[in-house]
Structure 1
Amino acid sequence: MATARFPGKCADVAAGNWSSPPGRLVCVNGTPWILYLLEECVDNVWEYCSVVIGLVSMFCFLLSTLPQVYEAYRNGKGEEAMSFGFLFFLFSGDLTSFAGCYLTSQLPIQVITVVFYIFTDLILISQFLYYKIKNSSSRKSPVLKWLCFMWCGSASLVLLTLPKLIVDNSASLDTKSTSKSVEVTGYVCGYLASVFYLSSRLPQLYKNFQRQSTEGTSYMLFALAMMGNGTYGLSVIVVLPALKGSKQTFIIKHLAWLIGSLGVIVLDFFVTAQFVMYRKNSSAKGSKLLSVPEVEPLLCEEVELSLL
């Protein structure tokens, strides 16, 4: 299984598949649902576990941005909590991952998943810009709201139509042999994606430190990302006992994305520490504010008695 944010197998040119001369997959003892859905031949328990764990990783990433979208909608101050650098590097990482998957002629489901990631990135960036313009202006602009609705509608239509175009073009792309230069370009895109993903956490860490708060940011965004990166690394390691070829070559092919995934997990631990640290600060401030009303009525009663 291969996806954009854990693109370790995304740069392999269908390494685990057996192809017949007409270009159709031949798999005698493979798992039927994996063969039908992913077009991968899985005939042992190690590869089966790798695919299942990879699917769990994919869904973690698919769901990771939804809590932040809701949190920004709920408080209406998405631009104060999120760093634009974080969103920019995240979007750049998904774009380069998409380029790597497309250049190496990966399965349609892989490219469709990357398209969904890019779509969710655009939603987050659109939310950021919307609240940035809205909250910086003292007057309410109905045009901005209509533009936002039109943008979301057009993006949704593109998301619905683009997968069909990818599936229709995949047959012609699969029949053509991938040249060495194109394959190398795909791997370069994978390395760039890892660099972008690692760089994305640094602006958010600085933003939280600068504000001394994580208010307005959903921790589920980073928690699900940690689960996704962790399960991706596990899916790569689990398949090692079933490899018939060189394990060292397999690790080298996946090294860039493994470094990116493990590095992002380390940085997300720092983000987690900020959530714990700054939550204590906010709770301390809240307790001070709650203590004020208990004093005010007593003072008011003393003033009334003195007047009598």
Structure 2
Amino acid sequence: MAHVRYPGKLSVDVAANLSATPDGPLCANGTQWILYLLEECADDIWEHWSVVIGLISMLCFLLSTLPQVYEAYKNGKVEEAVSIGFLVLLLSGDLSNLAGCYLTKQLPIQIVTAVFYIYTDSILISQFLYYKIKNSSTQKKPFLKWMCILWFGATSVFCLLLLKLLDIKSTTPSVQVQSVSGSLVTSGYACGYLSSMFYLSSRIPQIYKNFKRQSTEGTSYMLFALAMMGNGTYGLSVIVMLPALKQSKSSFLLNHLAWLLGSLGVLVLDFFVTAQFIMYRKNKSSKAEHRLNVPEFEPLLDEEEEV
């Protein structure tokens, strides 16, 4: 978110380890559920755990936005707590990530996941706009309700059409990525670097907004905690893969450099966000305690009224 969340974790990992052919898979010793689900031949314990950790990373990012959606619904003041710059840059990162997955012909599950990230981003942005308009005007609530319903409907239809447009069912497996035009693959990796820049930049507006407010109220820490878990497990999935490589390790890391820079960079920035949650929560507790300890200077009854 990277991302938040950081999508496209398995985009290069999978491409480097497939052993399938158009006539059928050649993976006698591979893990069958991985071969069936991801079309990847994981015939080594390191490859197996790299895929499992990568899927955990993907799951963390899929769930990361849900706590913030609930927090915004419960609080109703999301426009005061969340930076619109954070949301816009997050959406930009997910869009460029989707372009990178498509141009490099990644697996269908990755493209579907990337579209899902865009859908959840649109929900967060729609919540932001909804409460911003609602809290600034009390005369347009019926109109606002229907506008919100139409927005969700239009977004859902758009994401479904996008999946159809990308032709998910007939997407070429990543093992055949070498047959894709070299310029398209280069553009895909350029989109990977671009998405990393967007994800890194997205944390700056939110950190500044928290600092300016001296508070994190209205934002869910689980959004950042799950993003940290996702980024951490992604880095771990790459490291675990290294012992199983038969190719150059430096070349493998170079292919992952765009995603690693964005992932680890966002992870570092999320530690700053975590520090803000801890620090401002202490400030909130101390202020509440101070208010409780303030004595009452005026009596409940005037002395003249006492009998």
TM-score, normalised to structure 1, is 0.91
2:193 maps to which residue?
191
Other structure's SS at 2:17 match: coil
2:33 maps to which residue?
33
CA deviation digits over 1:59-110, x for unaligned, max 9? Answer: 1101100000000000111110000010011111100000000001111001
Structure 1 spans left out of the alignment, 5+ residues: none
Contact 1:96 1:190 in 2 (8 A): yes
Structure 2 spans left out of the alignment, 5+ residues: none
Contact 1:8 1:253 in 2 (8 A): no
1:153 maps to which residue?
153
Distance in 1 between the 2:256 and 2:201 partners?
A: 19
TM-score, normalised to structure 2, is 0.91
Distance in 2 between the 1:268 and 1:169 partners?
A: 38
1:83 maps to which residue?
83
Counting aligned pairs with the same residue, the percent is 64
Amino acid at match of 1:16: N
CA deviation digits over 1:226-280, x for unaligned, max 9? Answer: 0000000000000100001111100111112111111111100110111111111
Query: 1:141 Cα deviation (Å)?
Result: 2.0
- 1:248 aligned to 2:254? no
1:1-308 superposed matches below 5 A: 5-11=6-12, 14-20=15-21, 22=22, 24-159=24-159, 162-163=162-163, 166-171=167-172, 177-291=179-293, 295=296, 299-301=299-301, 303-304=302-303, 307-308=306-307
Distance in 1 between the 2:118 and 2:12 partners?
A: 18
Query: 1:189 Cα deviation (Å)?
Result: 0.3
CA deviation digits over 1:201-242, x for unaligned, max 9? Answer: 000000001111100000000000000000000000001000
Contact 2:6 2:227 in 1 (8 A): no
Q: Which range is displaced more, 104-113 or 23-32?
A: 23-32
Query: 1:151 Cα deviation (Å)?
Result: 1.7
CA deviation digits over 1:109-149, x for unaligned, max 9? Answer: 01001011111111001101111111111424211111111
Amino acid at match of 1:139: Q
Contact 1:214 1:274 in 2 (8 A): yes
Q: Which range is displaced more, 215-224 or 157-166?
A: 157-166
RMSD over aligned Cα atoms: 2.4
Distance in 2 between the 1:15 and 1:47 partners?
A: 11
Q: Which range is displaced more, 235-244 or 279-288?
A: 279-288
Query: 1:11 Cα deviation (Å)?
Result: 4.5
Contact 1:97 1:193 in 2 (8 A): yes
Other structure's SS at 1:28 match: coil
Distance in 1 between the 2:148 and 2:204 partners?
A: 29
Inter-CA distance 124–281: structure 2 relative to 1 (3 Å threshold): same
Distance in 1 between the 2:291 and 2:36 partners?
A: 59
Distance in 1 between the 2:275 and 2:99 partners?
A: 34
Query: 1:40 Cα deviation (Å)?
Result: 0.6
Distance in 2 between the 1:141 and 1:84 partners?
A: 22
Inter-CA distance 188–35: structure 2 relative to 1 (3 Å threshold): same
Distance in 1 between the 2:24 and 2:97 partners?
A: 26
Q: What is the aligned residue count? A: 302
